[in-house]
């Protein structure tokens, strides 16, 4: 398990007061129901290539504010963001709400929670 700094964890705790989170089971149900949504992996490029949740697109935390409006201009569509453990995605969810996106969720336990729930990932091919 990664050791995070107190300052980072404090920021995440504050962000989580202002966002909605979704469990791996709830996400699986939405995917199985073909729910109209955008699933965004906000991890770094080197993490993305190790595998992602099926149907996810990659917009890393470092660029998402710059590119989100071009990629997903409708700010009323369902967006679910995830990272490795649910911390960075909580910060991203809060930021997207600040930008006017109204239906944003963070995967509460990130990709690790997804895997711990027994769900698979889609392996990325290096190009």
Calpha distance 54→102 (Å, rounded): 24
Going residue by residue through the chain, which has 127 residues, state the pLDDT in tens, using 9 for 90 and above.
Answer: 578 999 999 999 999 999 999 999 999 999 999 989 999 999 999 999 999 999 999 999 999 999 999 999 999 999 999 999 999 999 999 999 999 999 999 999 999 999 999 999 988 654 4
Calpha distance 22→77 (Å, rounded): 16
Task: Tell me the pTM.
Answer: 0.93
- DSSP 3-state of 39: strand
Architecture in CATH of 20-116: 3-Layer(aba) Sandwich (3.40)
Q: How buried is residue 43: exposed, middle or buried, by Cβ count under 10 Å (0-12/13-18/19+)?
A: buried
Report domain extents, the chain. 20-116
pLDDT at 122: 85
**DSSP H or E run through 69:** helix 64-71
- For the annotated catalytic residues, the residue numbers are 83
pLDDT at 123: 80
| 87 neighbors 8 (Cβ within 8 angstroms) | yes
């Amino acid at each position: 398990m990664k050791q995070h700094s107190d300052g980072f964890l404090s920021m995440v705790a504050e962000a989580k007061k202002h966002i909605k989170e979704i469990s791996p089971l709830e996400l699986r149900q939405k995917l199985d129901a073909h729910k109209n949504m955008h699933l965004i992996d906000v991890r770094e490029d080197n993490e993305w290539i190790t595998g992602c949740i099926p149907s996810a697109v990659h917009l890393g935390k470092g660029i998402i504010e710059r590119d989100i409006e071009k990629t997903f201009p409708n700010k009323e569509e369902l967006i679910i963001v995830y990272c490795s453990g649910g911390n960075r995605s909580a910060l991203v969810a809060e930021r997207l709400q600040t930008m006017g996106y109204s239906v944003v969720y963070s995967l509460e336990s990130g990709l690790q929670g997804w895997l711990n729930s027994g769900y698979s990932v889609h392996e990325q091919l290096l190009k």
